[in-house]
Amino acid sequence: SQKVLTIGEILVEIVATTKGNGFLEIQPFIGPFPSGAPAIFIDQVGKLGTPCAMISRVGDDDFGRLNLNRLAADHVDISGIVMAKGETTGSAFIRYREDGSRKFVFNIANSACGKLEENSEIEQLLQQCRHLHLMGTALSSPGLNKMALKAIQAIKSHGGTVSFDPNLRAEMMTPTLHADLDAVLAQTDLFLPSGDELFLFTRAKDEHTAINELLNRGIREIVLKRGHQGASYFAEGKRFDVAAHSVTELDPTGAGDSFGGAFVSFWLNGSSPQEALYYANIAGARAVTFLGPMEGTSTRVELEQFLNVAK
């Protein structure tokens, strides 16, 4: 089956085990957990047995090794992930507040990931892969942006397909990023926004108009993620909805990436949109029941069994 490629950040997450407003007192943590939205996505694709690879850069430290070991164990081709001597892998400290919101401290500005450069392994993956999944963060990072735009051209010139998950918030938007996003959307076959992200890309005020506008711009299929309210699939003249499964949410980070990895995997392997949505909805629900963003990615058997276990 067709090999899936993603490009983007790899980091670790270290999570406070008590709830509260931040890090101003000494407190217990759990981690490091492998993380980075594209890394979680591709780990989910690998676990489902779809051939896949990631282009990224980590430091030659244990945080980098932890991620590479996990991805390799889950059948992700890591030949395009550079381990840079003397550099560090990014990290994020996270603490949940009582209301479910999160406080972050990021250590990513000078991490190895920002200095990605082409090499022969990366060139080979660009030739080999037939599907590219991009995330907005790859476009907003100066070190990854050029590679991301180049990868779209490479994949498309071989007749491949592109999926795009914006993973962006309104306050991250700049005019340059807007221009790049327009260029990416023009090449996107499958668009996977969540919630209000839909409105970062159109001036429409309601969902129906926004979806139609995007379909009219040439995106063939749109999957809208709605958190604990499930998800919807749209294509010209078609719409399917799924309600979310009722689960105990332990850690919402990574749900959208696990959902996306599952959807793309089934979609590429010939499943109908309904079937892909069905499995992605389970992957997202299962993901939130695990502490740690990448801990809740699923094998096919885990997806099949989850509904029985959850009841």
**Among residues 20, 49, 114, 227, the one that binds ligand ADP under rule CB under 6 A:** 227
284 binds ligand ADP (CB under 6 A): yes
143 binds ligand ADP (CB under 6 A): no
**Among residues 42, 108, 147, 231, the one that binds ligand ADP under rule CB under 6 A:** 231
CA distance 263 to 161: 14
Binding segment for ligand ADP (CB under 6 A), chosen from 5-13, 22-30, 198-206, 242-250, is 242-250
Residue 24 has phi, psi (to 5 degrees) of: -90, 5
111 binds ligand ADP (CB under 6 A): no
- Per-residue CA distances from 25 to 85, 100, 132, 269 (Å): 34, 20, 43, 49
285 binds ligand ADP (CB under 6 A): yes
CB of 62 to ligand ADP, least distance (A): 27
Map residue 34 onto helix, strand or coil.
strand
202-214 per-residue burial string, b: 16 or more CB within 10 A, e: under 16: eeeeeeeebbeeb
Amino acid (one-letter) located at 1 = S
CB of 285 to ligand ADP, least distance (A): 4
Q: Which of residues 180-219 bind ligand ADP (CB under 6 A)?
A: 194
CB of 214 to ligand ADP, least distance (A): 17
Q: How many CA atoms lie within 13 A of 99 on its CB side?
A: 3
CA distance 151 to 106: 27
Under a CB-based contact definition with an 8 Å cutoff, are residues 134 and 156 in contact? no
DSSP alpha helix (H) spans, 229-299: 255-268, 273-287
* Closer residue to ligand ADP, CB minimum distance, 188 or 281: 281
256 binds ligand ADP (CB under 6 A): yes
228 binds ligand ADP (CB under 6 A): yes
Binding segment for ligand ADP (CB under 6 A), chosen from 74-82, 86-94, 224-232, 299-307, is 224-232
Encoding tokens for residue 45?
């694709």
CB of 115 to ligand ADP, least distance (A): 27
Binding segment for ligand ADP (CB under 6 A), chosen from 46-54, 66-74, 247-255, 262-270, is 247-255
CA distance 115 to 84: 9
* Closer residue to ligand ADP, CB minimum distance, 9 or 77: 9
DSSP per position, 82-142: EEETT---EEEEEEE-TTS-EEEEEE-TTSGGGG----HHHHHHHHH-SEEEEEHHHHHSH
Binding segment for ligand ADP (CB under 6 A), chosen from 114-122, 154-162, 203-211, 241-249, is 241-249
255 binds ligand ADP (CB under 6 A): yes
Binding segment for ligand ADP (CB under 6 A), chosen from 64-72, 249-257, 267-275, 299-307, is 249-257
Binding segment for ligand ADP (CB under 6 A), chosen from 19-27, 54-62, 137-145, 254-262, is 254-262
- Per-residue CA distances from 86 to 60, 106, 121, 209, 266 (Å): 6, 20, 21, 50, 39
Binding-site ranges for ligand ADP (CB under 6 A): 194, 225-228, 230-231, 244-245, 247, 249, 252, 255-256, 259, 281, 284-285, 288
